[in-house]
Amino acid sequence: MRASNRRLAIIAAVALVILAAPLQSVFAQSDNAPTPAASPTTPAPLQTATPNSAASPDNATPASSAGASSLAIAELPQDLSPWGMFLNADVIVKAVMIGLAFASLVTWTVWIAKSLELRSARASVRKAVGILGKCATLAQANGQLRDDNGPAAQLMHAAASEIRFSANLRADGLKERIAWQLERIEMAAGRKISRGTGVLATIGATAPFIGLFGTVWGIMDSFIGISKAHTTNLAVVAPGIAEALLATALGLVAAIPAVMIYNILARSTAHYRALVGDASAQVMKLVSRDLDRAKLPLSHAAE
- Within this chain, do residues 71 and 171 fall inside the same structural domain, yes or no? no
Boundaries of domain holding 208: 82-301
- Within this chain, do residues 177 and 230 fall inside the same structural domain, yes or no? yes
Which one of 75, 99, 132 terminates a domain? 75
Give 214-282 as a 3 state SS string: HHHHHHHHHHHHHHHHCCCCHHHHHHHHHHHHHHHHHHHHHHHHHHHHHHHHHHHHHHHHHHHHHHHHH
Number of domains in the chain: 2
pLDDT for position 142: 81
Per-position pLDDT tens, the chain of length 303: 455 455 545 655 555 455 444 444 444 444 444 444 444 444 444 344 444 443 344 444 444 444 444 444 445 555 667 777 777 777 888 889 899 999 999 999 999 999 999 999 999 999 998 888 888 888 888 888 887 888 888 888 888 888 888 777 776 778 888 889 999 999 999 999 999 899 999 999 999 999 999 888 888 877 887 777 776 676 667 777 888 888 889 999 999 999 999 999 999 999 999 999 999 999 998 888 888 774 445 455 455
- Within this chain, do residues 178 and 31 fall inside the same structural domain, yes or no? no
Which one of 27, 46, 75 terminates a domain? 75
- Within this chain, do residues 122 and 13 fall inside the same structural domain, yes or no? no
Which one of 56, 75, 94 terminates a domain? 75
> For 173-181, which contacts have Cβ atoms below 8 Å and span 24 or more sequence positions?
174/287, 174/291, 174/298, 175/284, 175/287, 175/288, 175/291, 178/283, 178/284, 178/287, 179/284
For 41, 44, 52, the CA distances from 47, given in Å and listed in that order, are 11, 5, 9
- Within this chain, do residues 201 and 96 fall inside the same structural domain, yes or no? yes
